[in-house]
Structure 1
């Protein structure tokens, strides 16, 4: 689980975000994998949640970390999760694993849609467009695709790193 320091930091980031973005929300959602010009976190529509996910891989380390944060349509922190995993990997593998973990974790959400956001364009494209020739990562991509097909309430989208900053910082804890 996330430490109190991480929760406090996330709450501070959300408060700062609210102050900086004191304007009405657009009802439009980004649902494709094309990069947008938006560099700020966008609210989901009322009743839905956003689950931002990111991986942190440090060169020379024999481990990597996954960070996830769920927020509601008002930008309020709902829950967070940090996972440290063993292994020396390329960046794509932990990013895909983070999406898979986010999809699995999202099954605990009982109401509304869950928009899962990642700043890994390659991972989001692999899951959305069905790239199956990623060698050892093919099973992970297939798992994510199966999870999305099995639950219509889940959606995955690409966001710029700036819009995924809270998950990025949680992953670096």
Structure 2
């Protein structure tokens, strides 16, 4: 009787060890990507590359919005910027897609070869990275961006939080009746960039 009880105890310990091992193996593996956070600061492109940030400003109380984009090199120097006012009521995500298209068109007009498009609208960036907008109501805009992006030797898409897209955001909110553009930033925005680069 004592021997039988001893065997049962040993079996129980063995069963517990086996159960614990099975339980541990069934748990979700740690995903290193879960701990990653999206960047909150603007980062320059690699040497020779050009990063174009884009954003949209929906004019509250009106049927108009503005799309803006700004291109900078690896030193953070502005190469070109553009703001365009458009008429119509759109959802913000549709406006963001149009801003991305404006950025691609800016790169094409300047014949840049190595570009990186960066915005703060995650659905738009995900669609561009996935290489398809077929299932989206703004999919035609995404598809046009992707079609035009084939003209570049390199075209990347990246997401940055609003703080890192500050310059494009400020440009989109400039008073604009039609189109504003240039190679040098407005003076009040140059100060913002200078301060950011010093930090």
Offset of 1:95 from its aligned partner? 0.4
Does the 8 A contact of 2:47 with 2:74 survive in 1?
A: yes
Structure 2 equivalent of residue 132 of structure 1: 134
Higher relative contact order (CA 8 A, sep 6+): 1
Offset of 1:110 from its aligned partner? 3.6
Bigger helix share: 2
Structure 1 equivalent of residue 116 of structure 2: 115
1:142–1:37 CA distance, 2 compared to 1 (3 A)? closer
**Which structure 2 segments of 5+ residues have no match?**
1-35, 175-199
Structure 2 equivalent of residue 47 of structure 1: 48
Q: Which runs of 4+ in 1 moved over 3 A?
A: 109-112
Please, what TM-score do these two structures have when normalized by structure 2? Answer: 0.64
**Which structure 1 segments of 5+ residues have no match?**
1-34
Offset of 1:104 from its aligned partner? 1.5
Structure 2 equivalent of residue 93 of structure 1: 94
* Cα distance in structure 1, aligned partners of 2:144 and 2:104: 10
Does the 8 A contact of 2:114 with 2:152 survive in 1?
A: no
1:49–1:107 CA distance, 2 compared to 1 (3 A)? same
* Cα distance in structure 2, aligned partners of 1:149 and 1:159: 23
Structure 1 equivalent of residue 195 of structure 2: none
Q: Alignment RMSD, CA only?
A: 1.7
* Cα distance in structure 2, aligned partners of 1:123 and 1:132: 12
* Cα distance in structure 1, aligned partners of 2:112 and 2:150: 18
Please, what TM-score do these two structures have when normalized by structure 1? Answer: 0.73
| Count of aligned residue pairs for this structure pair | 138
* Cα distance in structure 1, aligned partners of 2:100 and 2:112: 20
* Cα distance in structure 2, aligned partners of 1:79 and 1:157: 19
Does the 8 A contact of 1:36 with 1:159 survive in 2?
A: no
User: For 1:47-104, what per-residue CA distance to the aligned partner results, in whole angstroms no more than 9, with x for missing partners?
Assistant: 1111110001133221001111111110011111110000111101110011111111
Determine which structure has more spread, i.e. the larger CA radius of gyration.
2
SS at match of 1:107: helix
